[in-house]
Amino acid sequence: MINDYKVSAAVREVYANLQDSEQVQRGLAFLETDHQSTVSDQIVINEVPAPPFHEKARAQYYKARLEALGLAEVCEDAEGNVFGVYKGTGDGPRVFVSAHLDTVFGEGTDVSVQEKDGLLYAPGISDNSRGLAAILSVIRSLKDADINTVGDIVFGGDVGEEGLGDLRGVKAFFAENKDIDGYIAVDGIKEQIITYLATGSRRYEITYRGRGGHSWNAFGLPSAIHALGRAIAKIGEVQTPTEPKTTFTVGTITGGTSVNSIAAEASMLLDLRSASEAELKKLETTVMEMLTEAANEENARWNSNDIKVEIKLVGNRPAGQQAPDANIVQAAWAATEALGIIPEFGPASSTDANLPMSLGIPAIRICGGGREDHNHSLNEWYDPTNGYLGPQKIFLTLLGLVGVAGLTKPLLLKRGGSPG
């Protein structure tokens, strides 16, 4: 598909005009010279802990940085998101661009950054301290080049993207802000990647309960662990489509009290995913039936009705699809090419962009630039070489979407369907 991808004449014209603009070129040059400041920001941000559901300290730090950069209406909402507005000059579209504040690492994790042979080592240094730092650099470039956009750009940091955070930050933001016409999630590193499809997921905590008892004296009672095992065996045999990709896994299991006890309780965390909301619902229905069957079969084995199953939804990330020729996708593609980079479409993924995409709001995920490895591990590292290409791509994508006063009209439509 990459070899066949075509950007429309209208989009090409916008990007030709942007590339010919001395003001835009000044902004791009600033981003390259600002590279070391961006890396320094990345280090400082990373060393402010932001474990799941405890992002407050980092949010407060980031809010202060947005205020210092002179954004309008800087605030922290009830969920803990922080954001401010780069005001446009007219009645243009309004774009929200954010990076998530939280990390996957629990409280007490050492997040100090160590530099060795040009690489930065620290949990979270790539995901997503890089995204947060890249956004600050883009704001500085707009200010330095004195660029007047037509539409407004809302810049921010959001909470709850990782793990059981369940996208609570963007869910709250879009529930309270109905005037957003497009969204960019800055997440990941590779500047060539554009993600325009969203993998949906349902996450469940499944618990089987019974009376339990001594393995010898109470033999004949059904076991919660055995019921759990029956459920896992059933799930393991489920057949899912390869296109759209649909997956499942039992991530963790717990239960029992000792080797010589019939378990009174056993639990698992279950992750179901698909790039298609319809396939996800089909898989979900199939698995839910199996969970009940497992309890019934364990009870029937011992002529009992002791075992009950409790099914608790702990994560709900909607799937999202949009056309590859949507203007927001074309803008990111043209911006990537303008930097001399060969664009690539990333596979459907699970990011903050899921939520707006599921609402029909144009949304993409693009990256902060550089190179990384061992993401989500204590050995995570980041290579800042040519990392400025990430902020440059964000900068150009945004300018194409919201328009530059006196130079280009916005490519993004307002949500009523009218041009910006």
* pLDDT at residue number 164: 87
pLDDT in tens, 262-271: 999 999 999 9
* pLDDT at residue number 420: 46
pLDDT in tens, 4-41: 899 999 999 999 999 999 999 999 999 999 999 999 99
- The Cα–Cα gap between 399 and 162 comes to 29
Residue 337 identity = E
Identify whether the C-beta of residue 223 lies closer than 8 Å to the C-beta of residue 298.
Answer: yes
Give bridge partners of residue 153 from the DSSP assignment: 86, 95
Tell me the average pLDDT of the chain. 96
Q: Pick the closest to residue 393 from 116, 103, 97 (CA basis).
A: 97
Q: Is the pLDDT of residue 417 over 90?
A: no
pLDDT in tens, 294-336: 999 999 999 999 999 999 999 999 998 899 999 999 999 999 9
pLDDT in tens, 152-189: 999 999 999 998 899 999 999 999 999 999 999 999 99
- The Cα–Cα gap between 112 and 125 comes to 9
Q: Is the pLDDT of residue 345 over 50?
A: yes
Q: Is the pLDDT of residue 230 over 90?
A: yes
pLDDT in tens, 383-399: 999 999 999 999 999 99
Q: Which domains does the chain have, with CATH numbers?
A: 9-198+320-402 (3.40.630.10), 200-317 (3.30.70.360)
Q: Is the pLDDT of residue 2 over 60?
A: no
- The Cα–Cα gap between 181 and 175 comes to 13
* pLDDT at residue number 113: 98
Report the pLDDT averaged over residues 353-363: 96
- Which pTM was predicted? 0.90
Q: Pick the closest to residue 89 from 133, 139, 35, 146 (CA basis).
A: 146
* pLDDT at residue number 408: 97
Percent residues over pLDDT 70 in the chain: 98
